[in-house]
Amino acid sequence: MDFRIKGFQHCMCLILCTIYLVQCVSLYEFEKVGNFAYYIGEGDNASVIFYWFDARQECRSNGGQLVSVVSETQMNDLQKYIIDRRYANGSRFFTSGHSFHSPEPFKWDALQESVDYSKWLPGEGPKDSSFLSLQLIDSQLFMVTSLGFYEYYICEYETRQQKLCKILKTPDFYIPSVAIILAIILALKLILKNSKRKAKEDEQALVGSNDPS
């Protein structure tokens, strides 16, 4: 018996270690840039253009999220990072910015927050049903609207804390939670009501059986 439990524990440990190793190996190399860590993803030659949702998925499967640019410092750090890597003038990069499911002109999909800091290319600005990309023009990085077909995307490392914060912010999290809580309250009420009624019936039955008449 003892031997079997030990065997089971060893087996579980092996499985967990393997999962952990595979995760480590498959994790992309993020580079620390300022307060964040990024990598720039590219489409292969078979499909030079990347669809936004594919880019988001690719990024997530590597433990990150498409980048959200929340400050001037971050924008400048990104600009330097992109220039240092000698991307061509005019190159465009996907971010997590989109306006498809939002009444706001734009929000960062990865953070579930509105776009507060902005540096639009002159003539560009919030538009309905478009994405927000970054474009390198004459060694400066600007925000531009896009329809979702570009060859590069910037993936930002997502910490556990960010993941948790995001879950707490989504309505998809609250609606089922509230429904479950209501269901539990209703069920408890029913159980209490039933047990009260049962107690009353028992009491009556007891009184009835004690009645000599």
Q: Which residues bind ligand NAG (CB under 6 A)?
A: 45, 89-90, 137-138
Residue 24 or 46: the one with the smaller Cβ distance to ligand NAG is 46
Residue 137 or 191: the one with the smaller Cβ distance to ligand NAG is 137
Residue 36 or 153: the one with the smaller Cβ distance to ligand NAG is 153
- The residues pairing with 146 across neighbouring beta strands, listed in sequence order, are 131
Measured torsion, CA atoms of residues 136, 108, 36, 165, in degrees rounded to the nearest 10: 180
Residue 47 or 73: the one with the smaller Cβ distance to ligand NAG is 47
CA distance 81 to 37: 11
Smallest separation, CB 87 to ligand NAG (Å): 11
Residues 6+ apart with CB under 8 A from 56: 65, 66, 96, 109
Smallest separation, CB 153 to ligand NAG (Å): 17
Q: At what angle do helices 160-169 and 171-210 cross, to 10 degrees?
A: 70
CA distance 40 to 149: 15
Q: Are 70 and 95 in contact (CB under 8 A)?
A: no
Smallest separation, CB 90 to ligand NAG (Å): 4
Residue 99 or 133: the one with the smaller Cβ distance to ligand NAG is 133
Q: Are 39 and 61 in contact (CB under 8 A)?
A: no
Smallest separation, CB 118 to ligand NAG (Å): 19
Q: What is the separation, in whole angstroms, between the first and last Cα of the chain?
A: 63
Smallest separation, CB 82 to ligand NAG (Å): 13
Residue 137 or 199: the one with the smaller Cβ distance to ligand NAG is 137
Smallest separation, CB 42 to ligand NAG (Å): 9
CA distance 211 to 213: 6
